[in-house]
Amino acid sequence: MEKIRVLVVDDHTVVRDGICALLALAGDIEVVGEAENGREALDRVRELVPDVVLMDVAMPTMDGLEATRRIHREFPQTKVLALSQYDDREYVFSIVEAGAQGFISKTAASSEVVSGIRAVQRGDSFLSPSVAKLLVEHYQAGASVRKSQDPYSQLTGREREILKLLAEGYTSQEIADTLIISPKTVEGHKTNLMSKLDIHNRIDLVKYALRKGIITV
């Protein structure tokens, strides 16, 4: 069986030694080299062309972020799995944007390192549970912001009903009869919803309803 060739990059010798000892226990992984900073990592990648680089993020001379960016650009066949004691949003997003296929916190279980290496070598992504949780929370927070910025979310239930009926071609009187309210109330809701949506004529209202999927052609 062909082994996964790994380059271990960390500025602490004791950390590299520990990782190498751990990976030696995995029968399908071979550590082909080590590096103590990003610049040295680039030299080792050019020389060894490993399958996976296990990359520390915070290092002197050249940090893991810049090294990952260059490896991703110059050696796209080599996968980068970031390994860092810092698992806050800034570190995770920065290293992933730079081209890393995965991110593992140094507080993670040892088995996650092996699983992560195998995953990125297959072409999959891999995140420690704590990092995955961070990304989910970030997405949910962003979705909440996007929702709050969508003017449609500001409409009341009644205004949404009237918007749909207006877009379907109903007159104010027909809407009043359908919803059992007065035409004056319909006009009030119509004025409010068009103001919230910043729409000023019926044609644009129909276009908006189509874009939102409120009505279909």
Say if 26 falls within a structural domain.
yes
Residues 25 and 61 reside in one and the same domain: yes
Parallel, antiparallel or unpaired: strands 126-127 and 102-105: parallel
Residues 207 and 156 reside in one and the same domain: yes
Residues 208 and 109 reside in one and the same domain: no
- Name the nearest CA neighbour of 121 among 27, 13, 29, 16: 29
Low-confidence stretches of the chain (pLDDT < 50) are none
Number of domains in the chain: 2
CB contact set of 74 (below 8 Å; sequence gap of 6+): 42, 45
What's the pLDDT at 88? 65
Last-in-domain residue among 141, 164, 187 = 141
Residues 29 and 77 reside in one and the same domain: yes
Residues 166 and 60 reside in one and the same domain: no
What's the pLDDT at 148? 57
Q: At what angle do helices 13-24 and 110-121 cross, to 10 degrees?
A: 70
What's the pLDDT at 66? 94
What's the pLDDT at 132? 66
Q: What is the dihedral of CA 110, 114, 120, 126, to 10 degrees?
A: -30
Sheet holding 126-127, edge to edge: 29-35, 4-9, 52-56, 79-84, 102-105, 126-127
Parallel, antiparallel or unpaired: strands 52-56 and 102-105: unpaired
Residues 180 and 130 reside in one and the same domain: no
Residues 8 and 67: their CA atoms lie apart, in Å, by 13
Last-in-domain residue among 110, 141, 172 = 141
The answer to whether 32 touches 100, Cβ cutoff 8 Å, is no
Say if 64 falls within a structural domain.
yes
Residues 54 and 11: their CA atoms lie apart, in Å, by 12
What's the pLDDT at 143? 56
Give whole-number Cα distances, 90 to 33, 57, 65, in Å: 29, 12, 11
Residues 70 and 142: their CA atoms lie apart, in Å, by 29
Residues 89 and 11: their CA atoms lie apart, in Å, by 22
Residues 161 and 135 reside in one and the same domain: no
Residue 114: HSE in the Cβ half-sphere, 13 Å Cα cutoff: 16
pTM of the model: 0.62
145-176 pLDDT per residue, tens: 555 567 888 889 999 999 999 999 999 999 99
Residues 103 and 9 reside in one and the same domain: yes
Residues 115 and 173 reside in one and the same domain: no
The alpha carbons of the chain give a radius of gyration, in whole angstroms, of 28
Q: How many other C-beta atoms lie within 10 A of the C-beta of residue 112? A: 19
Q: Which domain holds residue 206?
A: 151-212
Strand partners for 104:
83
CATH (domain of 205)? 1.10.10.10
Length of the chain: 217
